[in-house]
């Protein structure tokens, strides 16, 4: 049987990126300025070979090929060092598992993210946004990156387990998860075997936090199973899910792995988007003015609720544009599982392939002035001229983000509420040190808060939930 692929009837050029150094390959360029490096590759071909250390990697630069890689999940599968390291620490959840296991896991986790369920999670987000803004005072300078990260972690944890019985456990997860997350990023770059040779305080802290996190998750799962109550949260939905073929629910180990996956997927991505949005607003007074006009009209200084989202149209366009300019998931990798073709070129099993969402989003043939922040690109009449596969902030195909609605709800509510009350300006004129690691984040972002006349900045945030 022959299978047709989207790129089959076009010719695509295969190239090699210049400037590889012996042994290091393009690693120095990739580490020095990864965003510039990934966007420059398209000039050398549609599929471009780069060398990361001794490992050759093919980058699918042409948009149709990049999307083909994301969509043919069976041949372009998740695998290799990056995913193995993640699995070693977080378990084998829906985000990291290989294609053979994916269908079952996705079918079991997806119901927890149905549109109808997001409204309940939005109540948690509402209260977390309220606590965030209640703590700020005019003239205060706050590093918004860690502040948004703490809020996103709290919101995700409380959407996972909303039961009051678990308050201490939830606090322990909020304490341990950031330690595990930071440690995991280090372990992606430095082999664990090497780290183990040096018994540092950081190592012991990581081990203790991971052990505690695993224990707390096991305890929560046991408590939920024993109580057998639907708490209208994500864990309750996961416990209720059944395999469509066998009727079997998720095992405790599978539940653990999915909870870890959702903690990873749902925290830094969301907080980075919020931080990027405020970075953009500070540099684009006209965009800020229009955002203020909208949130003043819709919210009048209130904390946004789930029901407000449909009316926050400009806010939504700004979030879409922020995710275009700074997609937190800026690259992804796949491993070819069987000899195949891409764009008419042979790829042997075992080939590593990379796709850059960031490069796709900065293609000037699709997005004129690609580095300009222009939320009105997403006005319906203009957006209809943008190819569907040119905005891939949440990925594409069967492995597209499961938490897109969850994320957009949280980001929109937080952005609109904060902008309704505060104007944020960078506390210094030092240029940003963009940090594309696992996710694209702005790094440290100290900003000074000024209360807005329309917002009731000093008022306690007790204006009722959604
Ligand atoms: C702005 C926020 C977010 C962005 C930009 C984002 C982006 C992405 C991207 C690009 C992928 C595909 C990765 C790949 O193809 O290799 C993905 C997958 C995933 N995301 Fe998100 N994500 C966000 C928020 C969330 C949230 C809030 C959750 C859950 C609470 C979540 C859970 C997941 C999961 C479980 C997957 C794996 C899906 C699968 O393989 O079937 N994400 N995300």
- Given pLDDT bands bounded at 50, 70 and 90, which one contains residue 90? confident
CA–CA gap between residue 247 and residue 233 (Å, rounded): 21
Q: What is the mean pLDDT of residues 274-291?
A: 98
Closest C-alpha to ligand 1, atom 7: 394
424 lines ligand 1 (CB under 6 A): no
The residue among 165, 171, 316, 181 whose CA lies nearest residue 262 is: 181
Give 311-362 pLDDT, tens digit per residue.
Answer: 999 999 999 999 999 999 999 999 999 999 999 999 999 999 999 999 999 9
Going from the C-alpha of 377 to that of each of 282, 363, 382, 456, the distances in angstroms are 19, 14, 6, 32
For residue 7, what pLDDT is reported? 59
Sign of CA dihedral 59, 64, 70, 73: negative
Give residue 191's pLDDT.
58
CA-nearest of 148, 145, 136, 150 to 445 is 145
Nearest to 331, CA basis, from 351, 362, 352, 355: 355
Q: Could you read off the pLDDT of 349-407 as tens digits, one per residue? A: 999 999 999 999 999 999 999 999 999 999 999 999 999 999 999 999 999 999 999 99
- What pLDDT does 311 receive? 98
Mean pLDDT check: name the lowest of 130-139, 187-196, 218-227: 187-196
N-to-C CA span, the chain: 54
Distances (CA, A) of 415 to 62, 113, 419: 33, 21, 6
Q: Is the pLDDT of residue 423 over 90?
A: yes
Q: Does 3.30.43.20 match the CATH number of domain 1-91+330-361?
A: yes
CA distance 139 to 344: 59
pLDDT at position 461: 41
CB 273 within 8 A of CB 406: no
Sign of CA dihedral 43, 46, 52, 55: negative
Asked whether the predicted pLDDT for residue 460 surpasses 50, the reply is no
**∠ CA(121), CA(123), CA(128), 5° rounding?**
100
Res 465 pLDDT > 90 = no
> What whole-number distance in Å separates Cα of residue 316 and Cα of residue 378?
9
Cα 264 to ligand 1 centre (Å):
9
Question: If you take atom 12 of ligand 1, which residue's CA is the nearest one?
Answer: 395
Does the CB atom of residue 402 touch ligand 1 within 6 A?
yes
Cβ(332) – ligand 1 distance below 6 Å? yes
Contact 79 CB / ligand 1 (< 6 Å): no
pLDDT tens readout for residues 144-184:
999 999 999 989 998 998 877 667 887 888 889 888 887 87
Separation of 136 CA from ligand 1 center, angstroms? 30
> Does residue 273 have its Cβ closer than 6 Å to ligand 1?
yes
């Amino acid at each position: 049987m022959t299978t047709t692929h989207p790129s089959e009837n076009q010719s695509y050029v295969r190239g090699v990126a210049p400037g590889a150094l012996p042994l290091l390959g393009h690693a120095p360029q990739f580490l020095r300025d990864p965003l510039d490096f990934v966007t420059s590759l398209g000039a050398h071909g549609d599929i471009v070979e780069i060398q990361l250390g001794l490992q050759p990697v093919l980058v699918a630069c042409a948009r149709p090929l990049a999307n083909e890689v994301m969509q043919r999940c069976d041949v372009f599968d998740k695998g290799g060092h990056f995913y193995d390291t993640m699995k070693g620490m977080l378990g084998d959840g829906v985000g990291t598992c290989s294609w053979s296991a994916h269908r079952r896991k996705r079918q079991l986790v997806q119901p927890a993210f149905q549109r109808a369920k997001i409204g309940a999670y939005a109540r948690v987000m509402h209260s977390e946004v309220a606590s965030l803004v209640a703590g700020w005072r005019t003239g205060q300078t706050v590093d918004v990156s860690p502040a948004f990260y703490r809020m996103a972690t709290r919101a995700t944890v409380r959407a996972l387990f909303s039961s009051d019985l678990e308050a201490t456990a939830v606090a322990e997860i909020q304490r341990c998860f950031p330690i595990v997350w930071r440690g995991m990023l280090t372990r992606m770059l430095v082999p664990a075997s090497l780290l183990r040779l040096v018994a540092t305080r950081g190592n012991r802290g990581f081990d203790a936090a991971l052990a505690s996190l695993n224990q707390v998750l096991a305890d929560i799962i046991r408590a939920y199973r024993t109580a057998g109550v639907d708490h209208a949260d994500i864990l309750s939905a996961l416990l209720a899910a059944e395999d469509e073929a066998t009727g079997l629910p998720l095992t405790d180990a599978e539940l653990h792995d999915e909870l870890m996956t959702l903690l990873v997927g749902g925290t830094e991505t969301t907080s980075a988007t919020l931080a990027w949005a405020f970075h953009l607003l500070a540099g684009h007074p006209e965009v800020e003015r229009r955002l203020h006009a909208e949130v003043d009209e819709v919210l009048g200084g209130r904390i946004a609720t789930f029901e407000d989202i449909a009316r926050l149209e400009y806010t939504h366009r700004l979030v879409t544009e922020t995710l275009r300019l700074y997609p937190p998931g800026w690259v992804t990798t796949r491993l070819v599982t069987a000899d195949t073709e891409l764009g008419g070129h042979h790829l042997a099993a075992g080939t590593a392939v990379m796709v850059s969402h960031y490069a796709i989003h900065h293609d000037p043939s699709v997005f004129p002035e690609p580095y300009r922040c222009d939320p009105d690109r997403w006005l319906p009449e203009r957006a209809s001229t943008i190819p569907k596969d040119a905005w891939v902030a949440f990925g594409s195909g069967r492995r597209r983000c499961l938490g897109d609605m969850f994320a957009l709800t949280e980001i929109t509510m937080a952005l609109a509420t904060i902008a309704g009350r505060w104007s944020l300006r960078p506390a210094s004129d030092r240029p940003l040190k963009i940090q594309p690691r696992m996710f694209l984040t702005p790094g440290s972002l100290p900003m000074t808060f000024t209360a807005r006349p329309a917002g009731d900045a000093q008022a306690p945030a007790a204006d009722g939930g959604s």
